[in-house]
Amino acid sequence: MKIKRILKSILKWISFAILLALFVGIIALFVAYWRSTNNCDQLTATQGDKMKAIVYCDYGLANLKFTDVEKPTPTDDQLLVRVRAASVNPYDWHFVEGTPKIMRAMGVGLRKPKDTRLGVDFAGTVEAVGQNVTQYKPGDEVFGGSTGAFAQYLCRRATGSVALKPAGLTFEQAAAINIAGITALQAVRDKGKVQPGQKVLINGASGGVGTFAVQIAKSYGADVTGVCSARNTELVQSLGADHVIDYTKDDFTKGDQRYDVVIDNVANHSLSESRRVLTPNGIYVMVGGGSANEQGFVGALGKALNAAIYSRFIKQKMGMMMAQPSTKDLTLLAEMVESGKLKPVIDRTYKLSELPAAIAYLEEGHARGKVVIAVE
């Protein structure tokens, strides 16, 4: 009887502790949500040199502003770059919309975006360098990735993901390379480990990553199948695809062909459907997927987690990749473009002031190659 009473009392205290922890957690979340803020009130009240940039104080496309902000000054290890072109990636609309929502809890800003500046991919001219910078000098033409690329100027650590732009590339071509090109290269070379003669399928072959991936897989000697809609079949063929599947007519997961590597930029099939078309030792590389209004709370991360678990129980490898910034890869990609082995496909070019329209277009999910921003 006594033991029963003790157990009952322990259970009561454990339940009480759990309820208290939940209550404290909810209050902490509520406080963190309302305290979540950014530097918007100080942005325009600056005294020094100014420049035009895209700024957003709250989530949502309607909140993007083309405005004057303080021109940045490089630290000892940085370059000051006059941006001549930038490019837009789904990465940017994830930040604009704050989706999937889990991103907000992971440091992007619960109620408002913590960082009010947008953009990553850029190409431009070095205007000044910090005193420790030896690799670059004023006048050099560079390209790569940096936060705040949707602006007239940016500061970038000289040892970060930046490389010299070969003279044979336009600023627009160079700006198109960073995220999409590096992702495609690392998907084909590092994750897919594509070998000459292998059969490689690229789902979403006509988008930013896909147009690079088709050409890179081809340059590795693969037999490439691109999946896109009818209006893009000619484009994908012109990039070197040996076969094209029009997804509006045929479902590649239902066909008889088996692939050594599937690079999936759309992730619109279940893992078991995608596995069905893999050879016994095939590799499925999930790059991303889901349109801007399909992100929900976890977006592609849910499928990535499933793939990591699923992969443990099967012979094939299935998983999501995360592209890694790399100056070496930037240089390699630029050399491939300069030598004619790779062609950045540019769908549309917008002005910096038109960035909301550029992002709205990308959010529709049907860009043909890259959407570029020309910066005056």
Ligand X SMILES: NC(=O)c1ccc[n+]([C@@H]2O[C@H](COP(=O)([O-])OP(=O)(O)OC[C@H]3O[C@@H](n4cnc5c(N)ncnc54)[C@H](OP(=O)(O)O)[C@@H]3O)[C@@H](O)[C@H]2O)c1
Among 146, 178, 232, 295, binds ligand X (CB under 6 A): 232
Q: What angle do CA 97, 101, 102 make, to 5 degrees?
A: 135
Residue 307-336 contact track with ligand X, rule CB under 6 A, x = bound: --------------xxx-------------
Q: Which is nearer to ligand X, 74 or 369 (CB)?
A: 369
Task: Please tell me whether residue 118 binds ligand X under the rule CB under 6 A.
Answer: no
Residue type, 363: E
Supply the minimum distance, in Å, between the C-beta of residue 137 and ligand X.
32
Residue 9's SS3 state is helix
Supply the minimum distance, in Å, between the C-beta of residue 259 and ligand X.
15
Among 240, 302, 325, 365, binds ligand X (CB under 6 A): 365
Residue ranges of the alpha helices (H) in the chain?
A: 2-35, 40-43, 90-97, 102-103, 171-175, 178-185, 208-219, 233-238, 271-276, 301-310, 327-338, 355-363
DSSP letters, 146-178, are: -TT-SBSEEEEETTSSEEEPPTTS-HHHHHTTH
Q: How far is CA 363 from CA 171, 192, 275, in A?
A: 24, 27, 28
Q: How far is CA 322 from CA 184, 190, 282, 307, in A?
A: 11, 11, 19, 14
Interface of this chain with ligand X, residues 72 to 91, rule: CB under 6 A? 89-90
Supply the minimum distance, in Å, between the C-beta of residue 283 and ligand X.
15
Query: What region does 325 belong to: left with phi over 0, alpha with psi -120 to 50, or beta?
Result: beta
Stretch that binds ligand X, among 19-27, 55-63, 178-186, 277-285 (CB under 6 A): 178-186
Both structure tokens of 311: 């992969």
Q: Which is nearer to ligand X, 80 or 209 (CB)?
A: 209
Supply the minimum distance, in Å, between the C-beta of residue 33 and ligand X.
26
- Cα gap 343→94, rounded to integer Å: 26
Contacts of 209 (CB under 8 A, 6+ apart): 180, 183, 184, 187, 265, 287, 288
Q: Which is nearer to ligand X, 52 or 368 (CB)?
A: 368
Task: Please tell me whether residue 362 binds ligand X under the rule CB under 6 A.
Answer: yes
Task: Please tell me whether residue 181 binds ligand X under the rule CB under 6 A.
Answer: no
Q: Which is nearer to ligand X, 48 or 107 (CB)?
A: 107
Cα 283 off chain centre by: 21
Supply the minimum distance, in Å, between the C-beta of residue 167 and ligand X.
27
Among 179, 201, 292, 372, binds ligand X (CB under 6 A): 179
Task: Please tell me whether residue 206 binds ligand X under the rule CB under 6 A.
Answer: yes
Among 283, 287, 292, 318, binds ligand X (CB under 6 A): 287
Q: Which is nearer to ligand X, 154 or 292 (CB)?
A: 292
Among 95, 143, 247, 310, binds ligand X (CB under 6 A): 247
Residue 123's SS3 state is strand
Contacts of 305 (CB under 8 A, 6+ apart): none
With beta carbons less than 8 A apart as the criterion, state whether 149 and 95 touch: no
Task: Please tell me whether residue 203 binds ligand X under the rule CB under 6 A.
Answer: yes
* Residue ranges binding ligand X (CB under 6 A): 89-90, 179-180, 183, 203-204, 206-210, 227-229, 232, 247, 265-266, 268, 287-289, 321-323, 362, 365-368
